[in-house]
Copies of this chain bind each other. A is one copy, B any other.
Amino acid sequence: MKLYEALTEHLRGQINQGIFVPGDRLPSIRSLTREHKVSITTVQEAYRQLELLNLVVARPKSGYFVRGQAPSHPLPTTARAAKRPMEVSQWEGILQMLGADKLAPAFSLGHAMPDLTSDTLTPLLRLWARIARRGDLSLLEYDSLRGNLELREQVARLATHSGNQLDPDDIVITTGCQEALFSALKATTEPGDVVAVDSPCFYGAMQAIKANGLKVMEIPTHPEQGISLDALELAMEQWPIKAILVTPTCNNPLGYTASDAHKQALYRLAQKFDIAIIEDDIYGDLAYTWPRPITIKSLDTDDRVLLCSSFSKTLAPGLRLGWIAPGRFRSAVVHSKFVATAASSTLPQQAVAAFISEGGYERHLRKMRGQYQRNRDRMLPWLEAHFPAGTRISHPTGGYIFWLELPEEIDCVELNRRLEGEPYCIAPGALFSASGKYRNCMRLNYAEGLTAQTEQALLSLLKTFPEQNTSIAN
């Protein structure tokens, strides 16, 4: 056991025994270094782990406090292991949710759109206008196949926050995280191969698995700890798995962040079986703890991790700007990018590069992290008061998405079908599985909190549920 792990356990014990109760200020970093004869880094790391466990909360310039309350509601259950690799289906349900065939798509309770109304985004639009007015010819040209150099430099600098040492040359700009995931899969597999995923798993990643002629092996995933390493190892022994695709930080849809130790163990497992890790970090910069959690990529000593991210969740999806640090797979990723899109749009790249270098991105992140965390904490009691007994809710560590596991008799796929024609729709959990799991689950966005529109849609949704006499809170 490492020093910081021992200290984490010690402090956790004290909280569990009630030596420190909710609201108590915990010992300062300085006093703990003296008391335990460890470095400042060790104490900081221990507190970071306790934050990830939702036991303590940091208040700027005041120190660490025992969290007011640990999640009082039951968390989602961990799904059973899939029996075998499966083909992905579920495409029709996704099209319905995206409203791709409708002129006026319904308001989606389950979409993964950030809050776009923040005034910290205004400077981005102003930069856009300023760059367009400048009328530089380079705006009209292809940018480099690997992406705008200034943007890659900024991405490399930001990546240090999650422990990465990337060179701008290690990065390829993509058309959203979707192209990053797609090219990562293309670079690491051949048709017929199997990809292991955490489950539930983002449906866009699973559709990219399908489009590459691959099968998916769904691995049980704990709603606080992450993908089951035992189940993963068993699957790798049994099946010809070529890559592991995971979202270990601010997971979509479960919201957990795996511990550093878990990330390290997952990486060792990939080393042992000599396979690639595709790490989706799209919500990572929206973790409620700061400094933000590290990536698996930051532990990568032999270039087997393809780190995928984007500005779609942190800034705006309409930019269609993402990036990938593909490690040893760079050449195949560049080929995939060339054949699929040739380059990303020039003006958005220039504007975002300028926005980051002027400090706008980090200013925006600081604000949104606080807002999203507050929205989580305000919305939870409402959900507990209104949703039927037996409902389980995730406890997100970042981002703005809840995962709701409803009583078993509620079939969200069927429910969404019945909502056809209503002004709102939901994101049924079944979209997040290749094997028909999670039919009684749904994803719920809280980026803007409980707006009037969201409240109205939720109340209307609740009326469609079978009669209940109790709520979670009772």
Partner of A129, one of B103, B113, B133: B133
Could you say which residues of chain B place their CB within 8 Å of the CB of A334? 95, 100
- On whether A139 and B318 interact (CB within 8 A), knowing A132-B125, A132-B132, the answer reads yes
Q: Mark A191-220, 1 if CB is under 8 A from B, else 0.
A: 100000000000010011011010000000
Q: Is the CB of A141 within 8 A of B316?
A: yes
Q: Is A128 an interface residue (CB 8 A)?
A: yes
The distance from the CB of A195 to the nearest CB of chain B, in whole angstroms, is: 13
Q: Is the CB of B140 within 8 A of A317?
A: yes
Q: Is A251 an interface residue (CB 8 A)?
A: no
Q: Is the CB of B176 within 8 A of A339?
A: no
- On whether A339 and B210 interact (CB within 8 A), knowing A103-B149, A175-B175, A317-B142, the answer reads yes
Q: Is A392 an interface residue (CB 8 A)?
A: no
Could you say which residues of chain B place their CB within 8 Å of the CB of A335? 91, 207, 211
- On whether A340 and B132 interact (CB within 8 A), knowing A140-B317, A318-B140, the answer reads no
Interface on chain A toward B: helix, strand, loop, or mixed SS?
helix
The distance from the CB of A321 to the nearest CB of chain B, in whole angstroms, is: 8
What separation, in Å, do the CA atoms of A340 and B116 have in the docked complex?
A: 24
Q: Is A54 an interface residue (CB 8 A)?
A: no
Within 8 A of B (CB), among A104-119: 105, 113, 116-117
The distance from the CB of A127 to the nearest CB of chain B, in whole angstroms, is: 8
Could you say which residues of chain B place their CB within 8 Å of the CB of A137? 116-117
Could you say which residues of chain B place their CB within 8 Å of the CB of A132? 125-126, 128-129, 132
- On whether A318 and B142 interact (CB within 8 A), knowing A91-B335, A348-B345, the answer reads yes
Q: Is A143 an interface residue (CB 8 A)?
A: yes
What separation, in Å, do the CA atoms of A363 and B339 have in the docked complex?
A: 31
A–B pairs, 7, beta carbons within 8 Å: A94-B338, A98-B145, A116-B141, A132-B132, A139-B316, A140-B315, A340-B340
